[in-house]
Amino acid sequence: MRIHHIPGTDLAISDIGLGTMTFGEQTDKASAHAQLDYAREQGITLFDMAEMYPVPGRAETQGATEEIVGSWLARQPRDQVVIATKVAGPSRGFTWIRGGPLALDAANINAAIDASLKRLRTDYVDLYQIHWPGRPLPLFGATQYDPRTTGDEHAAIDRTLDALGALVRAGKVRYIGLSNETPWGVMQFLRAAERLNLPRVATIQNAYNLLNRNFESGLAEICHREQLGLLAYSPLAFGLLTGKYLAPSDPEARLNRFPQFGERYQKAAIRPALEAYAHIAETFGLPLAALALAFVRSRFFTASTLIGARTLAQLKDDLAYAAIVLSPEILAAVEEIHLRSPNPAP
């Protein structure tokens, strides 16, 4: 496990982080605590969650993930872990979260952080992220941007950043980050921070894996030039990149249990690419999950690879796989597949 600092911060994060969105749905409290304990034993310092978790979002379970992590956090040395959580943006049908927030404004952000802090049993979070942009965008499997949906986006970003800055000044938040954001959005937040003398975003948490490398097209350069770090989520593409869905699989596996995620992860172009990556892994004597996780961890812009698991056994395997270093020959084979089948699961 490598520990490093996000540029411009004193956040000492592990280059593998633990994602927690299964906690409270597919993973019960005792199993979640076992994962959290094991992650700390292995040197993980970064733990990521969100106010809307667990996934899939529903009123009956909303906030359960933070509550489970909070009951574990209460017995940890607080200054030795980095707690990251997220505020939900304008409602994607989550009417049970503050009545379905219509804006990322001060009222919504203040209500969200106070509720998260209470569930987490802490006075502050180390990294507070906007879960998805406040403006209408094609997200989570959608791809077509519609210019007819735009509004006064610059003013909205200014208001959001001002509200986040107030949380930093109040000591409730140490640093801020973005998630599921575009190159334009990241640059607007950076410009607003400079123009208004407000906190600068330190990280961006977007999906990144062998089946979705869209991050490389514009955001990778921004990470390099603006010194931001990617917290790469879904490095196994909802488990697709373990290979388990290439044959009849466990009915408790996420895509079997929750078929509503098919829009993003069951597109026609995915299976041929998945089979090609599986062939590469087999050729070089690797599990497919090892190829996938080690690839994400190897990228220059990846500050931390967020691994989420349903069981402790899965977590143990994933941590071992992520530590593998891929040879130039393997990386060249990966690029050949990517050029033939780029980004089938955006």
Place of tokens 């409602």: 91
Backbone angles phi, psi at 304, to 5 degrees: -155, 140
Q: Are 178 and 203 in contact (CB under 8 A)?
A: yes
Radius of gyration of the chain (CA): 19
What lies within 8 Å, CB to CB, of 290 at 6+ separation is: 281, 320, 321, 322, 324
**Pick from 119, 11, 130: nearest CA to 69:** 119
CA distances from 269 to 55, 217, 274, 276, 290 (A): 25, 20, 9, 12, 22
Sequence length of the chain is 346
233 catalytic per annotation:
no
What lies within 8 Å, CB to CB, of 217 at 6+ separation is: none
The residues with which 204 forms a beta bridge, in sequence order, are: 178, 230
Q: Are 30 and 312 in contact (CB under 8 A)?
A: no
Q: Of 38, 53, 233, 245, which one is the catalytic site residue?
A: 53
Q: Are 19 and 48 in contact (CB under 8 A)?
A: yes
Q: Are 252 and 31 in contact (CB under 8 A)?
A: no
Q: Whole-angstrom Cα distance, residue 128 to residue 177?
A: 6
Q: Which contiguous run of DSSP H or E holds residue 232? A: strand 229-232
Q: Whole-angstrom Cα distance, residue 44 to residue 18?
A: 7
Residues carrying an active site annotation: 53
